[in-house]
Structure 1
């Protein structure tokens, strides 16, 4: 038996499920007893989804992670996007992006569209300055935004390769706890997920922070109320 099989069998035994040669009691051939799995963790926070308190907590966490937060109305969103893209040469957008977000003049910014029938190559994405996406849900306690591959978010690659990410989050998408976020994501369990807590960063053994290692160096979060 491999180490992997041993670990999985122990998990199955704890859940009262038969494993490969191992049961809940560790014996061979005996039927495992049903085990009640404790689920006493918090399933929701004190703050309602989309509440001012949840949004304020998310902003606090994002700023602490060195993300740039822009609180705007739906009418202000296109102009804010245009302003943020003013210094960029090009932006890639997913197939289901709200075209109204790109309605304001954006100077000489080139808009590249990543389509299922014509996905941009890794090289092409590397040449793009920024990416604009929506989001699926945001967790205020951890300051985490999750993308799950919906058409307005696109495939994982487009949000990981460009150096700048503009991510639009509606305030009604903000929940306080991870269990609340996971329940929303569980509605489509087969979708690939990207969990974002600030710009991509890492630290070496001397704790020197380096940003832009595994994804965008700069994260702009546009909170739309």
Structure 2
């Protein structure tokens, strides 16, 4: 008997026989279908230091102008062009290198779904959302979200997304803290997140 076996034997003797494993693990997971409260999403996003704008679909360009007017932005190739004002210099992403995207002042994307309870927005790399890199590298992210894309809970969101697509989950601007809890924004993504919640007139 070596030292390892001796030590483990003493531990087993001290603890006695292990209890039998349960036949089944109870899982009280909530199902999808909860009622949506848009105000909960707005509160969560504001708590996370995102800026929330509410407007009609026809007014999105005005909001983008307020946030990024006069600046250079990268956009996914399938972004609706009527969301862009004439004041921004928009470049459609065509597999640009990270260095080219880093030269841009901001990005405008759509979204796949948003979760009110957690204040989380999910992008799934659809043509109006683009590659993950364009939503992570620029300093300002303007994300346009239709009110009918908002669900109540995580199970509701999982029922809508395709798990085989590259999903990016966003809860506010990028933020991290050191051991002394000093908050630093912009390390892992944009420092500024603007969420534009739209309804149709």
**Shared topology, TM-score over 0.5?**
yes
Q: Runs of 4 or more off by more than 3 Å in structure 1? A: 35-39
Matched, 1:47 2:35: yes
Per-residue displacement from partner, 1:130-175 (whole Å, max 9, x unpaired)? 0000000000110000000000000100000001000000010011
Say which of 73, 77, 91 aligns to 2:73.
91
2:89 and 2:61 map into 1 onto residues whose CA distance is 16
TM-score, length basis structure 1: 0.75
Tell me the residue number matched to 1:112. Answer: 91
1:216 and 1:147 map into 2 onto residues whose CA distance is 15
Residue aligned with 2:63, SS: helix
Task: Evaluate the alpha carbon distance shift between residue 151 and residue 37 of structure 1 in structure 2; reply closer, same or farther with a 3 A threshold.
Answer: farther
Matched, 1:209 2:161: no
Residue aligned with 1:219, SS: strand
1:42 and 1:75 map into 2 onto residues whose CA distance is 37
Distance apart, 1:79 and its partner CA: 1.3
Distance apart, 1:46 and its partner CA: 3.9
**Structure 2 unpaired stretches of 5+:** 1-19
Tell me the residue number matched to 1:72. Answer: 55
Matched, 1:162 2:145: no
2:168 and 2:25 map into 1 onto residues whose CA distance is 28
Say which of 147, 150, 160 aligns to 2:126.
150
Residue aligned with 2:52, SS: strand
TM-score, length basis structure 2: 0.84
Tell me the residue number matched to 2:14. Answer: none
Q: More relative contact order in 1 or in 2 (CA 8 Å, sep 6+)? A: 2
Between the two proteins, the alignment pairs up a number of residues equal to 179
1:37 and 1:139 map into 2 onto residues whose CA distance is 27
Larger radius of gyration: 2
Residue aligned with 2:62, SS: helix
Residue aligned with 1:131, SS: strand
The answer to whether the 8 Å contact 2:79/2:110 transfers is yes
1:105 and 1:158 map into 2 onto residues whose CA distance is 21
Query: For residues 114-129 of structure 1, what are the structure 2 equivalents within 5 Å?
Result: 114-115=93-94, 119-129=95-105
**Structure 1 unpaired stretches of 5+:** 1-24, 27-34, 49-53
